[in-house]
Structure 1
Amino acid sequence: MAGPSTFNQFDKLLDSIAEVVCVIDKDFRFVYVNQACEEMWGYQPEELIGRPIFQLIVNIDRAATQQAIEQFWKDGESYEFENEYCHKDGSVIAMSWIGKKDSHNKLIYARGKNVIQKRMQEKEVEMLSLIARETVNGIVIMDAQRRISWINKAFADMTGFAIEEIKGKRPAEFLCGLGTDIEHIQEIIRKVQRGEAATIEMLGYTKERLPIWAAIQLQPLFDKTGGIDKIVAIINNITERKRLQEQLDAELKQQQQRITAAVIRAQETERSQLGRELHDNVNQVLTTVKLFNEIIAESVTDHKELLKRSSNFLQMCIDEIRRISKRLAIPPLSEVGLVELTRELVDSINLASKFEVTYSLKGMHAIPISQELQLAIYRIMQEQLNNIIKHAEASMVMIALAYEDDQLFLTIKDNGRGFDPSIKRDGIGLTNIRSRAESLNGSFHLQTASGRGCYLQVAFPLDKVEVLS
C-alpha cells in the first residue's frame, strides 16, 4: 500500500508537468488541479478547488462544453475537444483537452494544453495557402531534390501543365528548351543547395513549347536539423516586359544609327562646304596673287600697282580664312562666355544677311553653366540661323536666352515662309539640333506651318545646386 511519501512524490511529478492536469466531479467542480493552472489561468490550485470549471470558460463556449461533457458521461470512455478560458488577468486562453471518466467514482480525469500558438500557426498557414492559391505569381513547392510536390493555379495557367503531369518531376525536365541558359540555371541550383536564396531570369517553354520569360525567386526551407526540407519557387511572367525591352533596345539602336548617320552627313556637308569656299574664294584669289607675282618677277618695270593689288588680295585671303576658322572653331568659352558669343554671332549675321536679328537675355548673368552646354547652345543657334539664311526668306529673327524654373531656354523665332513639318525633308539641320539637345537631357520643340514662320525652342534642365554654386 502506498504511503504518504509516495503520494507526495506523485504530486511533485504532476506539478512538474507544463500541461494542466485536473480532476472534476459530477457537478463539474474541481476536485484536484496541478500547479500548471497558475501559469495557464493565473490561479493557485487552492483557489480553484471546489469551483465549477464553467466559471473559467468563456461565455460563448459554456453551453457547448457542458453538452460535450454530458454526452461524454452517457456514451464515452474518453474525449477530446477544444474551448477557451478566461485568465485571471482577463486574457483568453485557447485549450485542447483529453479526458477519461471514472464511472465508479463519478470523476473525470483531464489533461489540457495551451493551443494559442497552434491556432495562430493554423491561421497563418491558412492565410499563406490562400495567398498562394490566389496570387497572380506562379508558386511551386519542391522537396530537397527539387522534385515538385505542389503548384498553384497561376503556375498551371502560365505553363499549361497540371499538377498530375509534373508531380515528382524536376522543373528542368519539362520547362527547358533550346534557348534556355542551362549553365546559369545549374549555377543557381548549386547556390540553393548551399542553403542560399537565389533569383534568376530564364527563358523556358510552355506545354505547347511556346517561349516564356520568367523571373524566379528560390527560397530553401529548413528542417529542425538545419537541412533543406523544401524549396519554394515564386515565378513572375516577364515575357511582355522582355518583349518591350527588346523593342525599346531595337528602337534605341536604330535611333543611334540615325544620329550617327546624321552626324556623318553633317561632317561631310561641312567639309564639302569648306572645300568649296577654299576653292572658290581663297584658291582663286591666291591664283591671282601668284599671277601678279610672276608678272612682277619677269618684268623690269615698276609694278607698284600690282604689288598693292596683290597685298589687298592677300588680305582678302586672310579675312576669308579667319571667317572660316571662326565658324569652325569658336574662342575658348572660359575666356569669352555664351552671352558674348551670342552677341558676336548676332552682329556678324546682321552685317552679312538680308534680315535683322534681335536677341534678349533673362537671368543669364547669374548662372554658371558647363562649357559643354554653352557650346551645344551656340552650335544650335548657328545651325538654326544657317537654316533661316538658306530656306526661310525671313526679314526678322528673334533669339531669346532665359533661365527660369531651373531650366535654360533657347528660343529662335522667324517670320519666314515656314514649312509643313509632316513632310519628310532631306536636310539634317533640325536632326542635328534635336540630337544636340537630347544628348544633354534637353527637350526640343518645333512649331511651324507653311507661310507662318518657324518657332524653335530647346530647354535644358539645370541642377539648383550647380546653379547656386
Structure 2
Amino acid sequence: MHKPTHISKGYLLPLLYPILVVTCCAAVITGWSFDIGPLKRILPGAVSMNPLTAILFVACSVVIILNFRLRRPTRLAAILSFFIATIGLLKIISYLSGYETGIDQLLFADKLENEKLTGHSNQMAPNTAFNFMLLGIALLTYRINRKWNKLSDILTLLVAFSAFLSLIGYMYNAHELYGIANYIPMAVPTAMCFLLTSISLLLNRKGSYILKTLTNQYSGSRMARYLLPLAVIIPVLLGLLRIYGQQAGFFTGNFGTAIFAAANIMVFLFLILQAAASINKKDKALHEFNLDLEKKVEERTAELNRSSKKFQSLIENSVDAISMLDEDGRILFSSVAMQKLSGYPAERLAGARALSIIHPDDHPAVAELNQLVLASKSIAYSSTFRVMHADGSYRWVEGTIVNWLEDQNVRAIVTNFHDITEKKKLMAEKLNRQKQITEATISGQEKERKEIGMELHDNVNQILAAGKLYLDMALKSTDNREEIITLSRESIMLAIEEIRRLSRALVPPAAGATGIATSIREFAELISFSSGLEIDLQLPVEIMDTLDENERLALYRIIQEQLNNIVKHAHAKKTIITLGKRSGLAVLQIKDDGKGFNPGASRSGIGLSNIRNRVEMFNGKFELHSAPGEGCEMLIELPVDN
C-alpha cells in the first residue's frame, strides 16, 4: 500500500483541471442521454463530442488524480492509460485501413445513427484518436524515471498544441486547424478537454520542467507568469479584430495584416518594456541588498578575523599548554606553550598519540581518565601527570581535560595544562626540610634529655650524694656533728640552686620584650660567671617590641644555643651580641673572638641546624662567617611587624 504524500496549497491547482474535464464530460453524457444539443457541442451547428471520447477523458482524469494523490504509478492507472492509448490506436488503424471497427459507436448507438442521418457523421475524429494515443502513452510513461518523464512531457505538449490549434481554428473559422480533409473534425468540447488535461498533466509532476519554470521565485519565472497569458490572449484578440474588421469592410486584407502585425509589435514592445522595468526594479533592489549584504559580510568577516587573531594571540601567548585531541587521543593542535613544554615542534606533535609523550607509570591513570572524558560531555576533569620532554627529561603538569567532540565549533577533546615541575620540586624540598626540622627537633630533644640527665647525674646527683654522706657521718659520730650538718645543708642548698639553674634554662622566659631581654641578660651572666666568657649585650627594647612573641622566644633560644656553642667549641674570651634594625628587618649579630672554623669543610652540628630551622620557620635569613683563627660571626635577619 502506498503512503499518501503531503499536499500543499501550491499543488492543488493541477486537481482543478481534471475536475473541469470530468464536469464537461458529464455534461456531454447528459446531453446525449436527454438529447440536449448545447451540452454535446457548445457551438450551434458544430460537431458533437462522441460519447466514447467523453469516457476516455474521464479515464484520463482518473489516472491524473491517482498519480496526484499517490505520487507514483499504480496498477489501475497503468491499465487505464493502456486502455486510452489502445482505443486511440485502434481508431487510427480503422481510418488507415478503411475498416470500421465501430468501437466509437457502442454508446448511444441509436442516437449516433440519428445524428448521422441528419448529415452530421458523429464518430471519433482522426486528430482526436491520435491525441488519445499520445496522451495514453504520456500517462503510461508518467513518473517512471527522468528519461521517460521527458518523453511524457513532449507527448503532452504535442497534445496541448493540437488542442490549441483546434480552438484557434474554431475562433477563426479555419477548418484546416481542427479537421483533417473530409473526416469529421475535432469537437469544441474535445479540444477544450484535451487542453485542460494536458495542462493538468504538465503541472501535476513536481519535477516537471514547465512547472519548475513557471512556479519558482526567480525573475524569469515571474516574467513568464506575467507574459504567457498575454502572449496567448493578445494575438488571438488582435486576430479576431482583424478578421471582423475586414469582414465589416473597414479595411482590406493587406491593410488588416499590416495593422495586425504593427499592433502585435507595439503591444509586445510595451509588455517587454514593462517586464524589463519590473525586472530592473527588482534587480536594483536585489543589487542594493547584495551590496548591503556584502558590506555586512565584510564587516562580519573582519570581526571574525579580529576575533580569530585575538583568540590565536591568546592561545599562542598563553602560559598554559593547550592542545586538541581527536577521540582516539591523537593530537590535532598544540599551542606554542605546549611545544615549549614538550620540546617538540607542532609538526612533530601533529598526529602523534598523546600517550606517547606521557610517563609510562602514568599511563593507567591517564587511560582511566580518558574513558571518563569520552563518556561525558562538556565536563572538565582535573589531572596531574608527567610529560616527556624532547631532551628525555620529564615535566610535571597539572590542568583540565574537557570533551567538546559533539560541539560543532570545536569537535575535539581540549586539554589545558601548566608546568608544575618547580612547584613539585619546592614541595619536595619543603617536605625534605620539614623532615630535617623534625629530625633536628627530635635530636635536639634527645640532646636536651641527655644534657639534663648528665647534669642530674654528674652535678646534682653528686652534690646530693655528698650531702647524704655528711648526714650519714653526722649520725655515726657525735664529734663535730654541727659542722657536718652545716656542710650537709650547704650541699642541699647547692643542689637546689643547680636544679633552679637547670629549670631556668628549660622553661621559656616571660613573653614580653622586657621579659625576654631580662632573661637573655640573666642567662648571659650565668654563662659569663660559669665560663669566664666576657659577653657584651646590646638589646634595645624598642626593637624587641617590633617582634612578635614567637620571634622573641626564637631569638632567646638562638642566643642561648649559640652561647653554649661558643663556650663548648670556640674557647673565646669575648662575645658581642647586638640587635639592630635595617630595611624592615630585625638583625641579630653574635660575634666571638674564638678559634673559628671552616663552615664549608665542617658538617653542621645539631645546634647550628636548630638555629637555622628556627630562622627559616619565620621566613628569615641565616648567615655564618668564620675561618680558622678568626673567630665566628653569625647574622640573623627576621621580618618585623611595622
Superposition TM-score, scaled by structure 1 size: 0.62
Q: CA deviation at 1:312?
A: 1.1
Q: CA deviation at 1:454?
A: 1.3
The one-letter amino acid of 1:233's match is V
Q: Which residue of the other structure, out of 220, 225, 230, is the alignment partner of 2:411?
A: 230
Query: In the aligned structure 2, how far is the partner of 1:156 from the partner of 1:431?
Result: 43
Q: Which residue of the other structure, out of 264, 267, 272, is the alignment partner of 2:442?
A: 264
Instruction: Tell me which residue corresponds to 2:300.
Output: 117
Q: Which residue of the other structure, out of 501, 504, 527, is the alignment partner of 1:323?
A: 501
Q: Which residue of the other structure, out of 452, 469, 482, is the alignment partner of 1:274?
A: 452
* Change in 2 beyond 3 A, CA 1:139/1:304: closer
| Identical columns (%) | 27
Q: CA deviation at 1:389?
A: 1.2
Q: Which residue of the other structure, out of 551, 556, 563, is the alignment partner of 1:373?
A: 551
Instruction: Tell me which residue corresponds to 2:377.
Output: 194
The one-letter amino acid of 1:409's match is V
Q: CA deviation at 1:394?
A: 2.1
The one-letter amino acid of 1:230's match is R
Instruction: Tell me which residue corresponds to 1:406.
Output: 584
* Change in 2 beyond 3 A, CA 1:346/1:115: same
* Change in 2 beyond 3 A, CA 1:131/1:262: closer
Contact 1:133 1:152 in 2 (8 A): no
Q: CA deviation at 1:236?
A: 4.8
1:338 equivalent to 2:516? Answer: yes
Deviation by residue 1:345-388 (Cα, 9 ceiling, x = unmatched):
23223333323111113462672533322211111111111111
1:348 equivalent to 2:526? Answer: yes
State the secondary structure of the residue aligned to 2:539: strand
The gaps in structure 1 that reach 5 residues or longer are: 1-9, 11-24, 41-81, 86-92, 97-111, 465-469
Contact 2:513 2:544 in 1 (8 A): no
* Change in 2 beyond 3 A, CA 1:222/1:368: same
Q: Which residue of the other structure, out of 605, 629, 642, is the alignment partner of 1:427?
A: 605
* Change in 2 beyond 3 A, CA 1:228/1:435: same
Contact 1:197 1:219 in 2 (8 A): yes
Whichever structure has more helix as a proportion of its residues is 2
Q: How do 1:42-57 and structure 2 match up within 5 A?
A: none
The one-letter amino acid of 2:332's match is W
Instruction: Tell me which residue corresponds to 2:332.
Output: 150
Query: In the aligned structure 1, how far is the partner of 2:357 from the partner of 2:580?
Result: 63
Deviation by residue 1:216-269 (Cα, 9 ceiling, x = unmatched):
55456698xx8886235245573xx53x45544444444444433333333333
Query: In the aligned structure 1, how far is the partner of 2:503 from the partner of 2:587?
Result: 28
Q: Which residue of the other structure, out of 485, 489, 513, is the alignment partner of 1:307?
A: 485
Query: In the aligned structure 2, how far is the partner of 1:443 from the partner of 1:133?
Result: 40
The one-letter amino acid of 2:333's match is I
Query: In the aligned structure 1, how far is the partner of 2:614 from the partner of 2:393?
Result: 43
State the secondary structure of the residue aligned to 1:357: strand
The gaps in structure 2 that reach 5 residues or longer are: 1-221, 223-275
Contact 2:543 2:581 in 1 (8 A): no
* Change in 2 beyond 3 A, CA 1:457/1:233: same
Superposition TM-score, scaled by structure 2 size: 0.47
State the secondary structure of the residue aligned to 1:179: helix
Contact 1:204 1:214 in 2 (8 A): yes
Instruction: Tell me which residue corresponds to 1:3.
Output: none
Query: In the aligned structure 2, how far is the partner of 1:448 from the partner of 1:165?
Result: 55
Contact 1:220 1:229 in 2 (8 A): no
State the secondary structure of the residue aligned to 1:441: coil
Query: In the aligned structure 2, how far is the partner of 1:406 from the partner of 1:164?
Result: 52
The one-letter amino acid of 1:326's match is R
Whichever structure has more strand as a proportion of its residues is 1
* Change in 2 beyond 3 A, CA 1:185/1:284: same
Contact 1:199 1:218 in 2 (8 A): yes
Q: How do 1:216-255 and structure 2 match up within 5 A?
A: 217-218=400-401, 230-231=411-412, 233-234=414-415, 236=417, 238=419, 241-242=420-421, 244-255=422-433
